[in-house]
Amino acid sequence: MKELYSFGLTEEQEKRARELHYGNIVIDMLFQGPIGTYSLGEEIEQETERLALESHPDSLSERVHFAGDVIRRWYVDGKLADLYKECWYESGLTAGNRQLNVSDKASLYSSAIDLQEEFDKKPWLIKVKQAADIEYAHQHQLKAGIVTCQETLGFENDLKLLEQMYHFGLRVVQLTYNNHNYVGAGCMEENNAGLSTFGKKFVAKLNELGIVVDTGHCGKQTTLDACKYSTKPVIASHTAAEQVYFHSRAKSDEEIRAIAETNGVVGIFAMPWFIAENPEDTTIEHFLDHIDYVVNLAGVDHVGIGTDWPMPQTKWMAIAFKKLFAPKMGFAPGDGPSTEIVKGLTDYRSFLNITRGLMARGYKDEEIVKIIGGNWMRVFKEVWS
């Protein structure tokens, strides 16, 4: 399902875009793929719903969890394993993050086991410990998985556990999700509390270990505090510019500048509900508008990609997720993930459209290389050294 969005490029520009995309390191710092809702197909849609209904006839939420486990099993070493590899290679992505679930300690341990199984069973996928691993993957036609997490609740106040997970391979940590935790306030909290006293110690420990400080879902003051107290570059792995489209998940000019002043990077996501007014009519042009804005505000060295969409779930799962789970995760009622798409980025196999779109907007070759992966690499080399 490779869709070529119409940018009106010349034949020469199309050729150059492909050379830049497939010839350089491309990184997505919130990579939910490589398979997504619209790459799974109708057969998987029906089969997962049937199996889930047979297993949990009385609970929709349990059916969603069950189907998620089934899809994961199928793409790790089952019927979706070939599609998983095909989608990743067609995307042109060199590296993408692989997420730990740190909502609690049990989930942390369980997700670490799941992640390690994925690395163990896919010889073409390597776990990233240093920036050189991404370069190696690019040179040898392999793919690289960067172990990250979007929450810190499961660490509680145990910095030793954080250190253990660093040795497992954890290299990027988002300080908060939408709500409060031990570290600070998330972006959906009204009090804008910032980092806690423990949160400042936590940031210092991330700096000491060589883990990137991520503020994607952090509240404004938490983001500003992270930039103030971190001695290493700070990122927002997946967000947008609130001056382009206002949403609690987006970053203010002050936050974007603060991140840039740490020599960090702001990753732009492809979430239809968060980057444009009408999620039913959101296109890659809206996504590119946010990139343009950050470039104009903070410079081309401080913007990257963190799509966060689409997820490896069927349509019926996505609809149920929005109804049952999104409100519990801090999203406003009716807000957050469902079946809408960013036209031009329906599937990860369409990732080339980002490079094509940047070319259509007049970016120079060296600027495109920075945006699609070079800026993330600069941060990794500084923090992971």
* pLDDT tens digits, 141-150: 999 999 999 9
CA distances from 255 to 45, 178, 191, 227, 276 (A): 40, 16, 17, 9, 20
Q: What is the CATH number for 142?
A: 3.20.20.140
- 13 CB contacts (<8 Å, ≥6 apart)? 356, 359, 360
| Closest by CA position to 80, among listed 123, 38, 40, 50 | 40
Per-residue pLDDT of the chain (385 residues; tens, 9 = 90+): 567 899 999 999 999 999 999 999 999 999 999 999 999 999 999 999 999 999 999 999 999 999 999 999 999 999 999 999 999 999 999 999 999 999 999 999 999 999 999 999 999 999 999 999 999 999 999 999 999 999 999 999 999 999 999 999 999 999 999 899 999 999 988 899 999 999 999 999 999 999 999 999 999 999 999 999 999 999 999 999 999 999 999 999 999 999 999 999 999 999 998 999 998 999 999 999 999 999 999 999 999 999 999 999 999 988 887 777 666 666 666 666 678 899 999 999 999 999 999 999 999 999 999 999 999 999 999 999 8
Domain contains 76: no
Please report whether residue 62 resides in a domain: no
pLDDT at 329 (0 to 100): 62
Does residue 74 lie in a domain region? no
Q: Supply the range of the domain harboring residue 268.
A: 11-38+83-309+322-384
pLDDT (0 to 100) of residue 325: 66
Q: What is the pLDDT of residue 117?
A: 97
**What is the pLDDT, as a whole number, of residue 133?**
98
Query: Does residue 131 sit within a domain?
Result: yes
Quote the pLDDT of residue 1.
Answer: 56
What is the reported pLDDT for 318? 87
Does 31 reside within a domain?
Answer: yes
Residues 304, 354: Cα–Cα separation, whole Å: 11
Cα–Cα–Cα angle for 296, 301, 307, rounded to 5 degrees: 85
Rounded (to 5) percent helix, strand, coil in the chain: 50, 10, 35
Instruction: Count structural domains, the chain.
Output: 1
Residue 55 lies in a domain: no
Using DSSP's 3-state secondary structure scheme, residue 195 falls into strand
Single out the residue of 92, 124, 98 nearest to residue 2, CA to CA.
92
CB 346 within 8 A of CB 3: yes
**Is residue 57 assigned to a domain?**
no
CA–CA gap between residue 376 and residue 380 (Å, rounded): 6
Q: Kindly state whether residue 49 falls inside one of the protein's structural domains.
A: no
